[in-house]
Amino acid sequence: MAGSEHRDTGPDTRLDTRLVDWDLAARTASRLVRPGPVVSEAEARRVVGVIREVAAACPPHVARVSQLLVPAGPPVRVVERGAWARANVASFASLLAPVLERAVDERRSRVGSGRLRGLGVAGRVTGLQLGSLLALLSSRVLGQYDALGEGPGTGDLLVVAPNVLTVQRELGLDLRDFALWVCLHEETHRVQFAAAPWLADHLRERARALSGDVLGGSGSGAERLASVVQGLRGAVEGARGGRSSGGGGDSSGAGLLDLATTAEQRRALAEVTAVMALLEGHADVVMDDVGPSVVPTVAAIRRRFTARRSSSRGLLDVVLRHGLGLEAKLRQYADGARFVRGVVTRVGTGGFNAVWSSPAALPRPEEVADPAAWVRRVHG
């Protein structure tokens, strides 16, 4: 779909490319993305203009409902599918580079540089798989707030214009209302991380530590990483084809949960899942509670979107739900909004906002389904 921004924050080619060929991942994603809906240039400009307009209107509505007052962020980036995929390659590269560099260094210290040649082949395979995974996801993700990268593009709020238009048409929704609803969700994520400046570092450190535990340090790290990405791609293809997602859609490849063999690793996965339940549940509550005075068709949007949400989840949700093998445990994820509403009912929005005060105030895995337990622990 023409008319949207094409600013590309491609991967840093200076990063280690022996476990993942990031350049190849970006090229593969760009080559394999499916074309968006066919529209005229004038219609494309209209859709992009609507998205930019409603995104600019979101901050005061999110501030009113969330009661979180933070500085304004940069304007929304309205992107094509390929630009979204390349941005996510860059984000993955910056997030995982320290882990992968450490894994290579550890292997070099054990086996010597002369026996590292096979990593380049594995890195190209993984790059191909990651690129094809992101190409698949690029037609499904509506918006994204990138909080975990550490390079250009970090902190950007992206909306994928062709996907917004596709879903709006598919569900018979009002374009302005639907685009506003999507932008409210992503603006809420921006506000969450701005209200809790420690949160991005906290999640980044947990993700890197966990990745290092289950992927790095062993001679099979490259193969493990390739297996995870392959399993994710199979999961997405299975979901797209309507196959059951209970075991990850396609049974090929290992989920990260399968590689987390210690109690500490599994607890760490559960803790990350609980944080994602909080973030997504809170964003869902805010986007709905802005209300019909702002989004007149919000009830119809929620009803129709929920009915097809399993086929429109974002990248991190797919990673958690399919790649980590957490389908059963991710009832917690679905309970995220209920956790937020349960806390607000007991201590109000101001009391709920204590969750952004420190890592210790984040909900524990068992508390997501028991908001009263969180209230007792945090508020006494």
pLDDT tens by residue, 8-40: 444 444 434 457 889 999 999 999 999 999 999
- 363 and 295 assigned to the same domain: no
- 320 and 349 assigned to the same domain: no
Q: Which residues contact 363 (CB under 8 A, 6 or more apart)?
A: 274, 275, 277, 278, 339, 355, 374
- d(CA 256, CA 211) in angstroms, rounded, equals 9
- 199 and 341 assigned to the same domain: no
- 275 and 326 assigned to the same domain: yes
- d(CA 329, CA 316) in angstroms, rounded, equals 15
Strands 143-145 and 77-79, by their bridges, are unpaired
- 356 and 248 assigned to the same domain: no
User: DSSP string covering 260-300, please?
Assistant: --SHHHHHHHHHHHHHHHHHHHHHHHHHHHT-TTTSTTHHH
Q: What local confidence, expressed as pLDDT, does residue 325 receive?
A: 45
Q: What local confidence, expressed as pLDDT, does residue 191 receive?
A: 97
Domain housing 380: 337-380
Instruction: Evaluate whether residue 16 is within a structural domain.
Output: no
Query: 266-301 pLDDT, tens per residue?
Result: 788 888 889 988 998 999 999 999 999 999 999 999
Q: Of 54-58, 218-222, 232-236, where does the model show the most confidence?
A: 54-58
Looking at residues 249-269, what average pLDDT do you find?
60
- 162 and 68 assigned to the same domain: yes
Instruction: Evaluate whether residue 7 is within a structural domain.
Output: no
- 258 and 371 assigned to the same domain: no
- 252 and 379 assigned to the same domain: no
- 298 and 379 assigned to the same domain: no
Total number of domains constituting the chain: 2
Find the range with the poorest average confidence among 9-18, 165-174, 202-211, 242-251.
242-251
- pTM recorded for the entire structure: 0.82
- 83 and 219 assigned to the same domain: yes
- 277 and 314 assigned to the same domain: yes
- 367 and 298 assigned to the same domain: no
Query: 178-211 pLDDT, tens per residue?
Result: 999 999 999 999 999 999 999 999 998 888 887 7
Instruction: Evaluate whether residue 179 is within a structural domain.
Output: yes
